[in-house]
Chains A and B, each alone.
Chain A
Amino acid sequence: RKEVEQDPGPFNVPEGATVAFNCTYSNSASQSFFWYRQDCRKEPKLLMSVYSSGNEDGRFTAQLNRASQYISLLIRDSKLSDSATYLCVVNGRSWYNQGGKLIFGQGTELSVKP
């Protein structure tokens, strides 16, 4: 089992749709969680950090479920510009203690159509 797993998609949705991505992680000691966005083989960029029970930033909502060991990303009112690959990122209790193991999921591709 991979340490961080995502549905690779692609998710094809119309403009204005609501879409949700899930990400599961295997290390129950993980403490920090992030969503990064990557456009068409360009460099990844931080979209949101996910702390405690989750957080919201405009049309984007990230949720954390520690009991089930998954995080989710909800995008409301999808825009054409949301088309990208969304990367789930998880690290351990302490960057030092985990030996620097920041784990990326393989990414979920989203395509928003007119």
Chain B
Amino acid sequence: DADVTQTPRNRITKTGKRIMLECSQTKGHDRMYWYRQDPGLGLRLIYYSFDVKDINKGEISDGYSVSRQAQAKFSLSLESAIPNQTALYFCATSDFVASVGTGELFFGEGSRLTVL
């Protein structure tokens, strides 16, 4: 089984619908992240969490919300999906490394979302 699991892997929805992407991890890491990837734009950080009680906005948080239900679970919600939120979404986890800050990022396999 994968260390970082995302569900669903693929989803097609309509404008205005509420969508939740879920992420669970067995790495035992405190830090979890949500990124989106668009062609030509690389990965952009949406939200991140350093522990269960810590939630922070990333570069592009508008239109998204998150919930850290437990150390191992971090979900991303689109309250009212719009077509420009069509993208590949990645969840990631990491440890904290004192010398460099964040350690290696471990990504889930991605959730491909299409908003019609």
Contact = CB atoms under 8 A, between A and B. Distances in A.
Given A41-B88, A45-B107, A102 B102 contact: yes
Contacts of A41: 88, 110
A42 to B, nearest CB: 7
Contact of A43 (B45, B48, B58, B109): B109
A32 B44 contact: no
A44 B105 contact: yes
B107 A44 contact: yes
Nearest to B43: A104
A102 to B, nearest CB: 6
B6 to A, nearest CB: 9
Contacts, number: 61
A49 B88 contact: no
Of the four ranges (under 10, 10 to 19, 20 to 34, 35 or more), the interface on chain A belongs to 20 to 34
Interface in B1-55: 33, 35, 40-45, 48, 50
B109 A44 contact: no
B43 A31 contact: no
Contact of B104 (A46, A87, A96, A101): A46
A96 B105 CA distance: 16
Given A31-B101, A46-B104, A95 B96 contact: yes
Contact of B56 (A92, A99, A104): A99
Given A43-B107, A91-B101, A100 B48 contact: yes
Contacts of A104: 35, 42-44
Question: What 8 pairs across the A-B complex have the smallest Cβ distances?
Answer: A95-B101, A43-B107, A106-B42, A104-B43, A32-B100, A104-B42, A46-B104, A100-B48
